[in-house]
Structure 1
Amino acid sequence: MALTLPDHWLWDHWVADDGEQYHLFFLRASRALHDPDCRHWRAALGHAVSDDARDWRLLPDALVHSDGPAFDDQAIWTGCTVMRPDGGMRVFYTGISRAERGMVQRIGWADSADGITFERRCAEPLEADGRWYEKWNPGYAFDEPWRDPFVFQHEGRWHMLVTARARGVDRLHAGVIGHAVSDDLDHWEVLPPLTDPSRFGQLEVSQSRQVEGQHLLVFSCGDDMQAEPGPGGVWIAEGAGPLGPWDVDAARYLRPEHLYAGQLFRLRDGQWVLTGFNNVIDGEFVGSAPDPLAWTQVERVARMRP
């Protein structure tokens, strides 16, 4: 799946399979910004297709920021893609707005009948519920995390996992998996988080996967958001079922350590593979997607606790 764009950085990405082609969705921003830290405020959602999940053909971008005012009129951030029961494809994504200087994150969705052109379909974006999740105000120095939706079906309902922060908890321990449910993909109810505060300040780009008989929570967290900084960017925690509970404090990190926003997906031959973007190598941000790694060959490391 190696994909490098000469004129754009490419980072968080995910794969969907429509039964005929694999679809790669990815965040992208122009290298003309010069500073890769600026990419987040200019991100669009790129799109490519492949027959084998390795050789990709670029398509038009799936989504770019809206004309304002709108919840997504500054940038498009990470999400997921599902096949609609009535046909077609739905992309869930995170939006940030100019009105709040990008400090508040909300979740929207867009549909495609042909797998190429996507039209926004949410009347109101999904927001964090202040009963359980931290909210932002103009006097607060940090953002309001409510991003990276991962949507899947379980026992007849749609479930959404969300990167969120527990209210009233120290920032480096407050990362939780937010939760919402729906019966029709259009109307969502926000529920309490599925995890408790732990040693992670954020659980980004999460997935719930059952691999080789194990229920795994896949998430990412850099050392700048860990209560106990150290190696590891992509993490897995074992759990009892698709909705947990997961032992987040006992999570193991994956190698190679330069990967971030890790994603597990299954090929049509049944093989599970891991992808994630090339983050910082030798002190420089890379911003590309490598070939996927066979899950059986990925090293999982238990970090020693102090």
Structure 2
Amino acid sequence: MLYKPHEDRLWDCWIVPYRNRYHLFYIRITPGTERWNGISMAVSTDLLHWEEYGPILEKHPDAAWLGTGMVQRIGDEFIMNYSEELIPGHQQIRFARSQDLYTWERIDDVVLRPDPAYYLDAPEDCVEELPRWDSLGIVGALQDAAPPYTGFLTAHAAERKLKAKAGVLGVVTSMDGIHWEALPPGTAEDLFPNYEVPEHLSFDDRHYVMFSTVTQHGWRYDDRALARSGGTYYVVSEQLHGPYRLPPGDPMLVGSRDHANVVMAYVGRVIPHASGYLFYHFWGNDHIDGRVGLPKRIVEREPWVLKLEYWEGCESVKGALASSGIALSSYRVLRQPGRLPSVIWQSEDDRTLSFVNQGSTGGIERELPHTPSPTASSLDWSDGRVIECAVTVQEGAGVGIFVGERRFCLFLNVRHSRLELGDVKHGWGVANVLELAAHKPWPLAYDTTFQLRLFVRNECIELFINDAYAISYRLDQPLTLSHLGFYAEDASGSITDLNIWEMA
């Protein structure tokens, strides 16, 4: 949503704050190559507006590919870890050092290999393409803390009865950030199939490890999904080295369930910030072509429960105020076939729009002011919008807000306490129908006002409700933000305080 390289394809990323600037590192696929062939960087002063810097490290010329890493600060030096398949069939973790984050020197004589006492290393013993040994995430990596250091990584346990369920959270320790010793796994057998890009954070001596996984690494592991799923999850423990277990409630922080795109909101990471931890993730697709999204607060809502919230720093993406108010005269009613009653829309002033239930469905829409931002046009993106309003449903099913010519809608289904996403289409017999593409449980109630913050840019849509993170969705193609509308389904209620900003 916020950053994508001009030519390269971006995937896993990590951010390092240093000298009043934020440095976004990411593994890349350069045009003409098939797999990740290096690490590049972008730079920002606010975590929202990024300037592409370019390559800072290339894979070894004999390596098949290069994988995810992290940067650790030790004194005046930075140590970056990353993985490579330099020996066919084996994934190993390697290191580089820098004094300034921009110029890096490989440390080719140091290699972190799996310890066969705890972890798989032989390809013939693994059901995946190669035994996983990747994504070394170091506790307090940017704090320049005293050793010993603890790291978590993606691994396969050596002693597992079921090879397809050998994925574990690996644990290692070090005195210098370069030479690491393996410890027993931090998770029990058959908790998750895979622990990609683990990241540690703590609150009041309670330990959390975030990680990412997808359905391809273990079918139907997520008991909240009917089919495919993927995203950033977390586990909890009283001890740093584990054992880690599932939290109470939903372990998914961002992601998708029952949708073909299991990486639309995938690898999530954290950075320390003056206001606490900030969480960020990238938006992926089936073409391994990612975008970096909005930072969010990550908080401990209650012991052992993490939640994501709106970060006030995101106010900086609001550009010019494109529209304010909600007078009905600005809208047109969508097509109504036959004599079937539809929704009655009415507006008594410029701040409130009411919809009255007639037992069916209906929608209204208007054109949006259209002034693409310079940042958006330079990257061939559609212009972005920040849309805020308040909605109240008094009875019936619910109401939604839709954008673009395709009328992509985020619908609050109060009757069934869930968020629904899909396209508003012309109905057969009824005025309009919502063709669902995804849904998510959400606590909704009648006669309750919900404040919506909607961020829309290119093919990415993100929603906050009462400043709680609600959902991320990446469409199959960019939205043309030429229209805005509302869709009511068998419901009565109101929409108030609508404001629309161009995304800067």
Structure 1 residue 249, shift from structure 2 partner: 7.9
**Please, what is the CA RMSD of the aligned residues?**
2.6
| Greater relative contact order structure (CA < 8 Å, 6+ sep) | 1
**Rounded Cα–Cα distance in structure 1 between residues aligned with 2:123 and 2:155:** 16
Letter of the 1:275 partner, please give it. Answer: Y
The answer to whether residue 288 in structure 2 is matched with residue 290 in structure 1 is: no
Structure 1 residue 8, shift from structure 2 partner: 1.8
Aligned pairs (5 A) from 1:112-191: 112-137=98-123, 142=128, 143-152=130-139, 156-169=147-160, 170-191=162-183
How many residue pairs end up in the alignment? 283
**Rounded Cα–Cα distance in structure 1 between residues aligned with 2:47 and 2:267:** 18
Aligned counterpart, 2:8: 8
Decide which of 76, 91, 94 is 2:83's aligned counterpart: 94
**Rounded Cα–Cα distance in structure 2 between residues aligned with 1:188 and 1:139:** 24
**Rounded Cα–Cα distance in structure 1 between residues aligned with 2:156 and 2:91:** 12
Q: State the SS of the aligned residue for 1:221.
A: strand
The answer to whether residue 278 in structure 2 is matched with residue 273 in structure 1 is: yes
List runs of 5+ in structure 2 lacking aligned partners.
257-263, 299-308, 310-467, 472-504
**Rounded Cα–Cα distance in structure 1 between residues aligned with 2:103 and 2:22:** 16
Letter of the 1:84 partner, please give it. Answer: I
Aligned counterpart, 2:91: 105
Letter of the 1:240 partner, please give it. Answer: E
Structure 1 residue 141, shift from structure 2 partner: 5.5
Structure 1 residue 80, shift from structure 2 partner: 0.6
Decide which of 205, 209, 215 is 1:217's aligned counterpart: 209
**CA displacement 1:167-222 (0-9 Å, x = unmatched):** 24224422111122111223221222122222322111001111577421101110
Larger Rg: 2
What stretches of structure 1 move > 6 A for 4+ residues in a row? Answer: none
TM-score under structure 2 length normalisation: 0.52
Q: Classify 1:7/1:238 alpha carbon distance in 2 versus 1 (closer, same or farther; 3 Å).
A: same
Q: State the SS of the aligned residue for 2:115.
A: coil
**CA displacement 1:230-266 (0-9 Å, x = unmatched):** 3342101122143333214866112353211111223
The answer to whether residue 88 in structure 2 is matched with residue 82 in structure 1 is: no
Q: Is 49-58 or 221-230 further displaced after alignment?
A: 221-230
Letter of the 2:157 partner, please give it. Answer: A
**Rounded Cα–Cα distance in structure 1 between residues aligned with 2:121 and 2:293:** 36
Q: Classify 1:21/1:289 alpha carbon distance in 2 versus 1 (closer, same or farther; 3 Å).
A: same
Letter of the 1:146 partner, please give it. Answer: W
Q: State the SS of the aligned residue for 2:216.
A: helix
Q: State the SS of the aligned residue for 1:260.
A: coil
Decide which of 230, 234, 251 is 1:236's aligned counterpart: 234
The answer to whether residue 186 in structure 2 is matched with residue 200 in structure 1 is: no
TM-score under structure 1 length normalisation: 0.82
Identity of aligned residues (%): 22
List runs of 5+ in structure 1 lacking aligned partners.
301-306
Structure with higher strand content: 2
**Rounded Cα–Cα distance in structure 2 between residues aligned with 1:213 and 1:89:** 27
The answer to whether residue 258 in structure 2 is matched with residue 253 in structure 1 is: no
Q: Is 106-115 or 233-242 further displaced after alignment?
A: 233-242
**CA displacement 1:148-167 (0-9 Å, x = unmatched):** 00123577411121100112
Contact 2:210 2:268 in 1 (8 A): yes
